Amino acid sequence: MKEPLVELKNVSFKYDTEAGFALRNVSFTIFMGEWLAIVGHNGSGKSTLAKLLNGLHFPLEGNITVGGIQLAEATVWETRKKIGMVFQNPDNQFVGTTVQDDVAFGLENHGIERNDMVQRVSQSLEKVKMAQFLDQEPHHLSGGQKQRVAIAGVIALRPDIIILDESTSMLDPRGREEVLETVRELKQDYNMTVISITHDLEEAAKADRILVMNKGQLYREGTPEEIFQMDDELVKLGLDIPFPVKLSKMLREKGLPLSRHYLSEEELVEELWTSHSKM
Amino acid sequence: MDISLQNVEYRYQVNTPFERLAIKDVSIDIPSGTFLAIIGHTGSGKSTVLQHLNALLKPTEGKVVIGDRVITADKKQKNLKEVRQKVGIVFQFPEHQLFEETVEKDICFGPMNFGVSEEEAQKRARAAIQQVGLPEEILNKSPFELSGGQMRRVAIAGVLAMEPEVIVLDEPTAGLDPRGRKEIMDMFFSLHQTRGLSTVLVTHSMEDASRYADQIVIMHNGEVYEKGTPKEIFSSPEGLLKLGLDVPEVVRFQQKIEKSFNTRFSKTCLTMEELTEEVALLVKRGAPK
């Protein structure tokens, strides 16, 4: 049922300029079609992880396989076809002078034939709802729109996996929702695997699975339910607890008999209503 | 220092084909010691307002009063240095503006530009680095060896070292992790209180606006859409919701409870403590028999 797509085995990595290891002995598996959130404080190794997955750096020790192929200098072009990446800053990833040029850029680099390219550009822009902006210049777009164009550029290459490296952290709430909604639809339509590196716990709460990174190590993995039971432990790691969980906990301390810590406000309201009716 | 914007209008690139009205008829009072939050969508005019607070922009209509200076369209402004020293702006991603070889030089750059002696500037740098919660040793490092969060703090220290009376913050926590966000905001709040600063916070975070601000201004399409205390603004959040803006989590939850229980709380809760108190009362009271 769950098919492994990416496997990391005992991966360690260190930047030349730094004394300590950015990643230490990290092992985990990413399964096909899942939405995996990777959370952790600034400097916990999340972004280094993303860079290793995309072959921007290579592990110092251990190894990574993507779709059965071991990631190395020799295979990086092959594995990169499988993984698309959307970075944090919308202004740093626009290379084309217009929206459609930007989406075409990656396709040109992969030597896609022109007719196919034209079709894929318009299809991808359609998909992220940016088709009407075809000839616009990037500086006319909002942050959320720029990120959606970046996503179009990624999906035009038909990757199996899309990595969001804090892709929504520089956007306003509306832009953030636009981008996440786009990714959710894509995931559903193409059965894509989503790896989201994020500080946004509300977003992580909606993932299938969460990895918690701390000081370069994998600290814990589990479903959102499991992870957010960690409670104060998360706060100690520099993270936070989603609002409904925090509220459930405080209500329990006030003596309300809640059966568990809820991840969704709706469920919490419902249990409150039920226990209210029984009083 | 009091600041007030009176019927301010600003047009970009006047008398060109690119002329664009950014804000109009904006009146905001910021008496000394106020903590003001400005919220609104991207493009609502927040940043344009912000740049009037230390005369980076001059209104095309109306006037801006900063302390005893009056800034209007028709008057040539001379010697704005004093205004700029007294009103410190921390721009978005201020770490992008670091440029010096060492943290110390970077922090000293601002004050020395305003005529402070090197010795005094260094003294201020030591104080400022402490205020932003970094160890003094960091002063001798290159800003570019630091982590993102540390760089942000150094950039903020550079503004504090000018010893402003008003501090203007444009999304100061964007891109930080939850702990970093809380630490930075708590730091600004404690500076605000201990130094008697005025603070203007431009933010998308309704949580921060409700937690820290005395006054909130909502901008929409270049105009002031609503202003009031957090209690006033969030007690009737219809306006916010109509604009597609968020309300604080606490307020949103209160609405959901009120709706499903078909009741009204006696007040609008702004903190989790208030909310749990009210919810516990409501649930324990039980269903009407």
- B174–chain A nearest CA distance, Å: 6
Which of B178, B249, B276 has its CB closest to that of A251? B276
Question: Please, what are the averages of pLDDT over each run of 10 residues along chain B (289 residues)?
Answer: 96 89 96 96 89 94 95 86 93 90 95 94 96 93 87 94 96 87 93 94 93 96 95 89 88 92 90 92 75
Strands (E), B56-214: 61-66, 69-72, 87-90, 166-170, 198-202
Largest CA distance in chain A: 70
Which of A17, A239, A254 has its CB closest to that of B178? A239
- What is the pLDDT of chain A when averaged over all its residues? 89
Q: What is the three-class DSSP state of B26?
A: strand
Name every chain A residue with its beta carbon within 8 A of the beta carbon of B220: none
Provide the CB-side half-sphere exposure for A269 (13 A, CA): 15
Structural domains in chain A, sorted by start: 4-241 (3.40.50.300)
Closest CA to A128 of A195, A194, A179, A87: A179
**Cβ-proximal residues to A49 (8 Å cutoff; 6+ apart), any chain:** A23, A26, A38, A197, A213
A10 vs B241, more confident: A10
Query: So what's the pLDDT on residue A220?
Result: 95
Phi, psi at A99, each rounded to 5°:
-55, -45
Cβ of B180 within 8 Å of Cβ of A143? The answer is no
- B276–chain A nearest CA distance, Å: 6
Residues 150-189 of B with CB under 8 A from A: 174-180
Backbone dihedral region of A18: left (phi > 0), alpha (psi from -120 to 50 degrees) or beta? beta
| Chain B interface disruption, residue of A139, A168, A179, A254, most B CBs within 10 A | A254
Backbone dihedral region of B264: left (phi > 0), alpha (psi from -120 to 50 degrees) or beta? beta
Cβ of B179 within 8 Å of Cβ of A240? The answer is yes
Strands (E), chain B: 3-12, 20-30, 35-39, 61-66, 69-72, 87-90, 166-170, 198-202, 215-220, 223-228
Which of B204, B272, B286 has its CB closest to that of A173? B204
Query: So what's the pLDDT on residue A1?
Result: 58
Q: Kindly state the helix (H) or strand (E) to which residue A29 belongs, with its residue range.
A: strand A23-31
Query: So what's the pLDDT on residue A277?
Result: 78
Q: Which strands sit side by side in the sheet containing B215-220, from one edge to the other?
A: B87-90, B166-170, B198-202, B35-39, B215-220, B223-228
Measured distance CA(B185)–CA(B191) in Å, rounded: 10
Measured distance CA(B97)–CA(B151) in Å, rounded: 10
Query: So what's the pLDDT on residue B243?
Result: 87
Q: How far is CA A31 from the centre of its chain?
A: 14
The structure's pTM equals 0.84
Cβ of B280 within 8 Å of Cβ of A273? The answer is no
Cβ of B287 within 8 Å of Cβ of A277? The answer is yes
Closest Cα in chain A to B92: A170
Closest CA to B183 of A248, A42, A38, A173: A42
Measured distance CA(A46)–CA(A42) in Å, rounded: 8
| Chain B interface disruption, residue of A140, A141, A199, most B CBs within 10 A | A199
- B187–chain A nearest CA distance, Å: 16
Measured distance CA(A129)–CA(A240) in Å, rounded: 33
Closest Cα in chain B to A255: B280
Query: What would the mean pLDDT of A260-275 be, rounded to a whole number?
Result: 87
Query: So what's the pLDDT on residue B46?
Result: 92
Rg (CA), chain A: 20
Query: So what's the pLDDT on residue A170?
Result: 78
Q: What is the three-class DSSP state of B149?
A: helix
Q: What is the pLDDT of residues A77-108, one digit of tens each?
A: 888 889 999 988 878 878 888 999 999 998 99
Name every chain A residue with its beta carbon within 8 A of the beta carbon of B257: 269, 272
Query: So what's the pLDDT on residue B286?
Result: 72
Name every chain A residue with its beta carbon within 8 A of the beta carbon of B144: none
Query: So what's the pLDDT on residue B287?
Result: 62
Query: So what's the pLDDT on residue B169?
Result: 96
Closest CA to B228 of B237, B167, B220: B237
Name every chain B residue with its beta carbon within 8 A of the beta carbon of A174: 41-42, 244
The answer on pLDDT for A18 being more than 80 is: no
**Where are chain B's structural domains?**
3-247, 248-289
Query: So what's the pLDDT on residue B75?
Result: 83
Pair of tokens at residue A241: 């607890």
- What is the pLDDT of chain B when averaged over all its residues? 92
Closest CA to A72 of A87, A82, A60, A83: A60
Q: What is the pLDDT of residues B53-81, one digit of tens each?
A: 999 999 999 999 999 999 998 888 888 88
**What is the CATH class of B3-247?**
alpha beta
Q: What is the pLDDT of residues A43-78, one digit of tens each?
A: 888 889 999 998 999 999 999 999 999 999 999 988
Query: What would the mean pLDDT of A19-25 be, rounded to a whole number?
Result: 91
The answer on pLDDT for A211 being more than 60 is: yes
Q: What is the DSSP letter of B137?
A: G
- A28–chain B nearest CA distance, Å: 23
